[in-house]
Chain A
Amino acid sequence: MAKGVKPRVKVPKKAAAGEAITIKTLISHKMESGQRKDDDGNLIPRSIINRFTCDFNGENVIDVTLEPAISTNPYLEFAATVPEAGEFKFTWYDDDGSVYEESKKIAIG
């Protein structure tokens, strides 16, 4: 497991039913591209987050496939519809098999 991986997500606490909200996510990860070489000229093996998904009450909002060309600390911003009160679930999948999860509740009001 890569060290120091910390997901951060920004979701409004409240929304009107059916409202479109903007979600911002960032996860600290070095996203080693597999193109760089270390001081001895050896290739540093690839180690990235290769997939990100966001679901709301079990329904999919977005599913992103990430490639090595995504910057360090992958940042994603997208829009979601909130039909009812519930919970957003965010999942990041690492190359090494680790899965990082984060969830945020949202209320209607």
Chain B
Amino acid sequence: MKLTRRNAMVMGAGAFVALGLPLRASASLADDAIATFTGGAEMADSGITLTAPEIAENGNTVPVEVSAPGAAEILVLATGNPTPAVATFKFGALAASQTASTRIRLAGTQDVVAIAKMPDGTFAKASSTVKVTIGGCGG
């Protein structure tokens, strides 16, 4: 087959589709996890803060902080990890503020998502893109 401009374009598009598949697969895992948590409810954009670095040199320990005043529960997801779930924080009666920080693993550059469940059954969502130089899943 002669390599024409048209053939090159077709092959290029094919490669993109092939590469895109695994990414999309894990993104839908994250969507599933969100749907399980919220039951498909609408999510507000305010009322929750997710603090994560813009660039993480080492994906093995990425410090993140979530804060959602008044929330009953906060779910943290890493949309690009092989398993998106990261942690669920449930706040009890003696929690002084609905804030928690921890260190997480990120497989690569991706969006980290935090969803807060309010006591009245509404949800709030925040997300932040983290660029990861070295992935943290030992692959």
Contact across chains for A78 and B105 when beta carbons are under 8 A apart: no
CA distance A78 to B137 in the complex (A): 26
Partner of A64, one of B61, B65, B90: B90
Could you mark each residue 88-108 of chain B with 1 if its beta carbon is under 8 Å from any beta carbon of chain A, else 0?
Answer: 111111111101111111100
Say how far A15's CB is from chain B's closest CB, in angstroms.
10
Specify the chain A residue showing the minimal Cβ separation from B62: A71
Is A107's beta carbon under 8 Å from chain B?
no
What are the residues of chain B within 8 A of A76 when measuring CB–CB? 100-102
Is A79's beta carbon under 8 Å from chain B?
yes
Contact across chains for B87 and A81 when beta carbons are under 8 A apart: no
Contact across chains for B93 and A78 when beta carbons are under 8 A apart: no
Say how far B137's CB is from chain A's closest CB, in angstroms.
5
Contact across chains for A35 and B104 when beta carbons are under 8 A apart: no
User: Hey, which bits of chain A sit against chain B, CB under 8 A?
Assistant: 20-21, 33, 35-37, 55-56, 59-72, 74-81, 83
Partner of A61, one of B62, B78, B87, B94: B94
Partner of B96, one of A65, A69, A79: A79
Main secondary structure of the interface of B (DSSP, over half): strand
Say how far B68's CB is from chain A's closest CB, in angstroms.
13
Given known pairs A35-B137, A72-B61, the reply for A77 and B92 (CB within 8 Å) is no
CA distance A66 to B102 in the complex (A): 10
Number of interface residues of B (CB under 8 A): 33
User: Hey, which bits of chain B sit against chain A, CB under 8 A?
Assistant: 60-62, 65, 78, 81-83, 85-97, 99-106, 136-139
Contact across chains for B138 and A65 when beta carbons are under 8 A apart: no
Residue with the greatest number of chain B CB neighbours at <10 A, chosen from A33, A72, A75, A81: A33
Contact across chains for B89 and A64 when beta carbons are under 8 A apart: yes
Contact across chains for A79 and B138 when beta carbons are under 8 A apart: no
Partner of B97, one of A66, A75, A79: A79
Given known pairs A21-B96, A63-B92, A81-B96, the reply for A72 and B102 (CB within 8 Å) is no
